[in-house]
Amino acid sequence: MEHIGLTHYLIVSAVLFCCGIFTTATKRNAIGILIGVELMLNSTGINLVAFDRYMGPGRLDGQIVALFMIVLAAAETALAVGICINVYKNLSTVDVDSASQLRG
């Protein structure tokens, strides 16, 4: 039976990252863009934990950085959703192309 190694996890993480980039680039809804960012953050989390497991087991460095990543992602989502709600209050839509008041 084939052995599951580091490369397998990194490929899964690459798939998630590319899907995140695609989502961030194509969605017009601000919340949709946030969802794409969440996907990219999760792919970095898989990378960190996989490197921790296969390159330095027992040292916990990668897992702790992944824990901070989760904390930062939660903070970022809270603020970004607050900003989206304010944009919706002012413009009655969350289409990112319509928020162009600062365009020169």
By CB under 8 A, the residues from 22 to 41 that bind another protein are: 22-23, 25-32, 34-36, 38-39
The pattern of x and - marking residues 61 through 90 that bind another protein according to CB under 8 A reads: --xx-xxx-xxxxxx-xxx-xxxxxxxx--
> Using CB under 8 A, which of 58, 100, 101, 102 touches another protein?
58
Question: Exposed (0-12), middle (13-18) or buried (19+): which is 46, by Cβ within 10 Å?
Answer: middle
Instruction: Give the Cα-Cα-Cα angle 86, 72, 40 (nearest 5 degrees).
Output: 90
Q: Tell me which amino acid residue 79 is.
A: L
CB of 1 to another protein, least distance (A): 6
Least CB distance from residue 103 to another protein, whole Å? 18
How many residues line the site for another protein (CB under 8 A)?
71
End-to-end distance of the chain based on CA atoms, in angstroms? 61
